Amino acid sequence: MDGNYISKEAGPMRIAVIGIGGVGGAFGGKLASRYGSGPDHEVVFIARGEHLKAIRGKGMTLITTAGESLVRPSLATDNPAEAGAFDVVLFAVKSYGLEEAARMVAGNIKDDTVIIPLLNGVDITERLQGVLPRGICLHGTVYVSAFIEAPGVIRQVSPASRLIFGPDGGSVERFRPIDALFQEAGITSELTSSSQSALWTKFIFICPAAGVTSLLQKPFGEVMDDPEGRDLLAGLIGEVEQIARAKGIDLPGDIAQVSLDKVKQFPYETKTSMQLDYEKGRETEIDIFTGYIVRTGQKLGIKTPLHERVYKTLTGAA
């Protein structure tokens, strides 16, 4: 589908990206590059601090393996009240700031606003639904490695980026114009009604990896070279699989082995973002990873001793 098809079928859209860090900057940058100065759609960046100041002043530089581009959104602001109503909202904030960000833009969201979270956790959509009185909350999963290199500069280090989104079951037809909008902007996107499976396929890998690298303070290669580290990672993956299957998530039979093998595909020195946060003394997202599995295991009556060990050690919980 082309941009004209989107415009004819759905009309011009105002797309808001909440949080212009690595993930928000990578996807928002592509949207702004395609639509920021055009007549069809509007792209709004909700950002703050020096990063916002730089974007307002000279635009945002998006550096990828394919090259460098300067993009300008239709509007960059830290005050959603001046942005009007949104048709599509992409949440790309850290999990510990999710509810605050949602409340900040609640007034911009209509009954038919489509909301797509780009965070890592598997309960993000439910958390948004608990805060936002209006809007259609979908599930979203992204694959991209990017970060803020300097105020107004986003560097995407992964060769590709991918967005999988959609409802949990039911028809996806009403969301096809949004999928077309993403693809027209050069975003590799997939609209699916099996969005929960996509979420958990990533989570069963990233949650244990974040936990074990943060606990042992070792990159992927060293974890896999250490028999105890490798066994711990495999055990953590097994506990996540137990939880997923108890919740009725449809996953391949070999998902545990596939997830373990993924670690071997990364460069030896790869560190998880949670590990880097611990190393730098920053706030972490342990509650959407290890903490979520511990809490959900307790609710479902499933023992998760390895996650409990990791959680207690990293948080100092009794």
Q: What is the pLDDT of residues 65-89, one digit of tens each?
A: 999 999 999 999 999 999 999 999 9
Same-domain check for residues 24 and 134: yes
Q: What is the pLDDT of residue 10?
A: 61
Same-domain check for residues 304 and 247: yes
Task: Give the residues across from 88 on adjacent strands.
Answer: 15, 114
Residue 6 lies in a domain: no
Residue 261 lies in a domain: yes
Same-domain check for residues 162 and 279: no
Give, to the nearest 10 degrees, the angle between helix 195-216 and helix 255-264.
50
Residue type (1 letter), 106: A
With residue 248 as reference, give the H or E element that holds it.
Answer: none
Q: Give the separation between CA 50 and CA 227, rounded to whole angstroms.
A: 45
* Mean pLDDT within 176-195: 96
Same-domain check for residues 131 and 80: yes
Sheet with 14-18, side-by-side order of all strands = 75-77, 42-46, 14-18, 86-91, 109-117, 136-137
Residue 137 lies in a domain: yes
- Of residues 169 and 45, more confidence is placed in 45
Residue 3 lies in a domain: no
Residue 1 lies in a domain: no
Same-domain check for residues 223 and 138: no
- Of residues 10 and 229, more confidence is placed in 229
Q: What is the pLDDT of residues 274-316, one digit of tens each?
A: 999 999 999 999 999 999 999 999 999 999 999 999 999 999 8
Q: What is the pLDDT of residue 78?
A: 97
Q: Which of these three, 166, 193, 220, is where a domain ends? A: 193
Same-domain check for residues 139 and 268: no
> Distance of CA 145 to CAs 42, 64, 273, Å?
25, 10, 10
Same-domain check for residues 143 and 251: no
Among residues of the chain, what percentage have pLDDT more than 70? 96
Average pLDDT, the chain: 94
Q: Which two tokens stand for residue 16?
A: 């808001």
pLDDT above 50 for 7: no
Degrees, nearest 5: CA angle 308-142-157: 100
CATH number of domain containing 295: 1.10.1040.10
- Of residues 251 and 3, more confidence is placed in 251
Q: What is the pLDDT of residues 227-286, one digit of tens each?
A: 999 999 999 999 999 999 999 999 999 999 999 999 988 889 999 999 999 999 999 999
For 250, list phi and psi in degrees, rounded to 5.
-85, 110
pLDDT above 90 for 186: yes
pLDDT above 50 for 189: yes
Cβ atoms of 241 and 254 within 8 Å: the answer is no
Q: What is the pLDDT of residue 1?
A: 29
Beta strands, E only, 22-74: 42-46, 60-64, 67-71
Q: What is the pLDDT of residues 190-211, one digit of tens each?
A: 999 999 999 999 999 999 999 9
Same-domain check for residues 133 and 244: no
Domain that holds residue 174: 11-193
Q: What is the pLDDT of residues 98-107, one digit of tens each?
A: 999 999 999 9
Same-domain check for residues 17 and 163: yes
Same-domain check for residues 19 and 109: yes
Residue 255 lies in a domain: yes
Looking at the structure of the chain, the number of domains it has is: 2
User: Pairing between strand 42-46 and 14-18?
Assistant: parallel
CATH number of domain containing 170: 3.40.50.720
Q: Which of these three, 193, 213, 241, is where a domain ends? A: 193
Q: Which of these three, 154, 171, 193, is where a domain ends? A: 193
Same-domain check for residues 252 and 179: no
Q: Which residue has the tokens 């460098």?
A: 68
Same-domain check for residues 227 and 182: no
Q: What is the pLDDT of residues 22-44, one digit of tens each?
A: 999 999 999 999 998 778 899 99
Residue type (1 letter), 95: S
Residue 2 lies in a domain: no
Residue 247 lies in a domain: yes
